[in-house]
Structures are given as structure tokens and as C-alpha cells.
């Protein structure tokens, strides 16, 4: 499952996958796999990303279009 909002947020903030990977303390490859749904997002990663972007976890998971 590709997480559309996750990629859109990163691109809207002019960030590279490498930038977000550093924030999460993971490799760029691992973050890429989060974004494309190859690796499941953990609760810890979801919370860090939601806090970083100022959005809800549901938004990150494409369960809503409301940030």
C-alpha cells in the first residue's frame, strides 16, 4: 500500500527521503519502504511523523483527507 499523504507531505516541504530518514534515525532505504508500504509503519514512526508534520496519524495512513 502506497501512502499518498506521506509522500505528498515530504515533497510539499521540499524534503528528500534521506532527510526524513535522518529524523527517524533509519536508512533512506527503510524510509522509502515505509512510504511505499513495503514495510509496515510502526506506532513510534507514525507518531514521530505526525508530530513532525503537525497532522493526524489517520491522515498519514490515508484514512482521511483532513490534516
Which pLDDT value is given to residue 1?
Answer: 76
Cβ 56 vs Cβ 66: under 8 Å: yes
Residue 32 lies in a domain: yes
- Is 8 within the bounds of a domain? yes
For position 2, what pLDDT does the model report?
Answer: 83
> Model confidence over 8-33: pLDDT tens digits?
999 999 999 999 999 999 999 999 99
Q: What is the CATH number of the domain that holds 41?
A: 1.10.260.40
Residue 8, domain extent:
4-60
pLDDT at 46: 96
* Dist. CA 28–CA 55, nearest whole Å: 22
> Helices (H), strands (E): how many in the chain?
5, 0
pLDDT at position 47 = 97
67 occurs within a structural domain: no
- Look at residue 66 and tell me if it is in a domain: no
Asked whether residue 41 is domain-assigned, the answer is yes
Domain count, the chain: 1
Confirm whether 48 is domain-assigned: yes
Amino acid at each position: 500500500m502506497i501512502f499518498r499523504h506521506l509522500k505528498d507531505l515530504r515533497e510539499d516541504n521540499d524534503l528528500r527521503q534521506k532527510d526524513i530518514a535522518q529524523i527517524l534515525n533509519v536508512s533512506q532505504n527503510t524510509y522509502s519502504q515505509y512510504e511505499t508500504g513495503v514495510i509496515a509503519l510502526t506506532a513510534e514512526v507514525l507518531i514521530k511523523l505526525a508530530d513532525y508534520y503537525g497532522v493526524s496519524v489517520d491522515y498519514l495512513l490515508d484514512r482521511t483527507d483532513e490534516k
